[in-house]
Structure 1
């Protein structure tokens, strides 16, 4: 079944395609062949600008967790070997202090539909039976609908450097964001020998880089979205953390 033929999905994809096509046409006199890629970047920036209020809530939640850090540390020392009781105690603390542990996920969750839309727009040859002209858009000769893995196994492999540069930029951005997050809101290491302490430490170190792996396997248009959003997040958090200290 072609999901693009579903009434709601088809309408959303048509609207997204029309928006990107219009942006591309307007940017073509300035950006030339990179107009479509620039249109994706501008769309990302517009989405992130609209989500600034959620980012404010995210930083406030981080600030609250930093304020509660001594109490959280005491709970970990008290219940470090009893995961269930520790989780219950932490939840009670968050509830009593009116702190939402999910606030930090809001910007990511809110972007999921837009990223899914970009992904869909550059993976379907037709949208509700109409030829998808966006698949003809390129960046440095690479179609925006192709991923790094596809490019590396095609005659265009010599152009893969642009994707590798984007992934390197994303990796550096993720690491800078991780270090900034630790400085802003240090996380106390779990007690030695506590159940899952090693796994938790490894996860905290490497899970942020899942986005780099994701960006390597999705269409280049989605890679542009992820990289642009990550760079925006790094700068946005730096500014908001100063303002909401």
Structure 2
């Protein structure tokens, strides 16, 4: 933890000529981005695993339907399918878990007392939104800083909400099988993107900066990693090559 703190302090010193009193806040944002960049290979691996599971999901659903009354045969058939398609049942899960310790350490670094005495404009990095409300209200000097953060978080949450809704519509959690709670989870899952608003409101401002930066990075990163999936289907679920070929036939006709 002290190593991370020292790195943030050194970054703040380097950024001092550019950002003056907000150098520590800028260092938090930059440090978060550098860590997210360092773990990006794990994010790519997780995305590949998710795509692989999505690709074989219809076949898994068919196996569940075919062997619904024979759990042992179903288990064997699913293992055979994963081996045939060269997809691990845990593809994408392990890379996501490996990222967790870094995010956990950063959150605790920025939610501690190490950021006391530093500010982001008029808002102390060690204070909470409640402190800003108590000293000037919603539109006070510190309150306005939080309003900007809330606006950014809301924009990212709306983007993530819409994207999650589209993904769930394209691949329901129940995969056509009666799965208890799948419908409720599908309704609640997109709304989780708005939980960041609550986090920003209750944690110290330094931690809020980390959360906002990391959440924004995640939204942009996932849009980038999964853009290939949209491009390969022509954006409408039809393979781009097939669309191109059908267009060529129509032209010749």
Tell me if TM exceeds 0.5: yes
C-alpha distance in structure 2 between counterparts of 1:202 and 1:45, whole Å: 31
C-alpha distance in structure 1 between counterparts of 2:22 and 2:117, whole Å: 12
Aligned residue in 1 for 2:112:
123
**Long gaps (5+) in structure 2:** 233-253
Count of residue pairs the alignment pairs up:
219
C-alpha distance in structure 2 between counterparts of 1:209 and 1:29, whole Å: 36
Determine which of 215, 227, 230 is the counterpart of 2:215. 230
C-alpha change, 1:234 and 1:108, in structure 2 (3 Å) is farther
Determine which of 127, 141, 160 is the counterpart of 2:122. 141
C-alpha distance in structure 2 between counterparts of 1:63 and 1:223, whole Å: 31
Report whether the alignment pairs 1:53 with 2:44: no
Aligned residue in 1 for 2:172:
188
1:34 deviates by 1.2
Scaled by the length of structure 1, the TM-score of the pair is 0.72
Scaled by the length of structure 2, the TM-score of the pair is 0.70
Report whether the alignment pairs 1:39 with 2:27: yes
C-alpha distance in structure 1 between counterparts of 2:40 and 2:89, whole Å: 18
Q: Deviations over 1:143-192 (max 9, x none)?
A: 1112223322x214312222232133123213313433454572326479
C-alpha distance in structure 1 between counterparts of 2:128 and 2:36, whole Å: 23
C-alpha distance in structure 1 between counterparts of 2:136 and 2:108, whole Å: 21
1:45 deviates by 0.8
C-alpha change, 1:121 and 1:209, in structure 2 (3 Å) is closer
Alignment map for 1:192-207 (pairs within 5 Å)? 195-207=180-192
Report whether the alignment pairs 1:151 with 2:96: no
Q: Deviations over 1:61-113 (max 9, x none)?
A: 22112212323444676799x9xx7xx86x94685553344625744752444
C-alpha change, 1:174 and 1:106, in structure 2 (3 Å) is farther
Are the equivalent residues in 2 in contact too, given 1:118–1:221 (CA < 8 A)? no
Alignment map for 1:19-168 (pairs within 5 Å)? 19-74=7-62, 92=78, 96=83, 98-101=87-90, 103-104=92-93, 106-107=95-96, 110-124=99-113, 132=114, 134-152=115-133, 154-157=134-137, 158=140, 159-168=142-151
